[in-house]
Structure formats: structure tokens, C-alpha cells
Amino acid sequence: MNRYKILIIQCVIVCLIMSCGTLGGIGDDAICFPTSKQKLEIAIDSLYFKYPEYKIPAKWESYNDWSERGYDFLESRIFHFKSHPEEMYYVTFIGDSVMLSNPNKIELGIRAINYGDDRWFSGNELSDKEKQRVLSRFDKEIIYKLEKYTKTKSYHESLYK
């Protein structure tokens, strides 16, 4: 009997650990690039250099509070969109250290969106229509450019494999 109690307690602890502090994604798919994280980071830096409007503007810098929220362990970038609707996307690299070091594949996910106030919205707080708008905008304005810089074609892969 004690063995079963221990097993149940271990399962509960594992479930709690896995659910604590996790961010859902906007959409059910990761955006995959068939390249290394290092090359994608160089592409993102190039994008910020050529299109500085995608960097966080000073007026919205206070909303970059992910470290205070306990998410400083995530490797992330924020993309600002100045044209209507003005908003920012919190985007992270997806995976553990082994996945992040894969020279042939790196995944990105949009984790939250900010409309210019103190509140970030996660995927479960957005309508399906709003999620589609966000994903489409990100594909057209960011992913398309990153594909050019990395000379690769991205693809979508389910986050819930």
C-alpha cells in the first residue's frame, strides 16, 4: 500500500512542477526553422538592425517585465508592431538545452501579446479570430523576413506532439 501512495504522490508532484509557470502559446503550432538557434539569432539581430521599429519603443519598455514575472529562464525576444493595431509579441525559443543546441532545427512560439498597457494576454485569453490575426501578422512581417535571412523555409509543427 505504501508503494502506491508514494507513486501517487510522485505523479502529483511531477504534474504540479510541469504546470507551474508555463506559458501557453498563441496557436497550437511552433514555428520551426531548419537551421541552428545561433543562425536564427543572427537573423533576428539583422532584422532588428534593418527594421528598428520592431524593437521595443522606449514608451513600452516598462512592459518588458518578464524577468520580474519569473520567466527570465526563457530565451525570448519581443517584437513591436507600430502600425495599427500597435502591439508587441513575446516570442520564445522552444525546447530544452538539447533541442536548443540542435544544428538542424530551432522552434519559436508566440507566448503573449501586449496592446500597450500593463497587461500581457496569453493564447487562452484571445478569441480564435484574434489568434489567427496575430499569427498571420507574425508570419507576414517577421517570419517571412527571417526566412530570407536564414535562407530557409519555416514550417509549423504541433506543440502537442
Supply the CATH number for residue 61's domain. 3.30.310
pLDDT in tens, 66-92: 677 666 667 889 999 999 999 999 999
Q: What is the pLDDT of residue 11?
A: 41
Q: What is the pLDDT of residue 3?
A: 59
- Whole-structure pTM value: 0.80
Cell of 57: 519603443
The answer to whether residue 9 sits within a structural domain is: no
The answer to whether residue 11 sits within a structural domain is: no
Residues of the chain under the 70 pLDDT cut = 1-24, 66, 69-73, 159-161
CA pair distance 90, 50, nearest whole angstrom: 20
> How many domains does the chain contain in total?
1
The answer to whether residue 10 sits within a structural domain is: no
The answer to whether residue 57 sits within a structural domain is: yes
Q: What is the pLDDT of residue 24?
A: 67
CA pair distance 4, 29, nearest whole angstrom: 37
Domain that holds residue 142: 22-158
Q: What is the pLDDT of residue 4?
A: 53
The answer to whether residue 77 sits within a structural domain is: yes
Task: Output the furthest CA–CA distance in the chain (Å, rounded).
Answer: 64
Q: What is the pLDDT of residue 137?
A: 97
Q: Does the CA dihedral 141-41-59-53 come out positive or negative?
A: negative
- Cα dist. 114→51, 61, 70, 119, 128 in Å? 20, 12, 18, 6, 17
The answer to whether residue 99 sits within a structural domain is: yes
Cell of 159: 506543440
CB 55 within 8 A of CB 23: no
The answer to whether residue 148 sits within a structural domain is: yes
Q: What is the pLDDT of residue 71?
A: 64
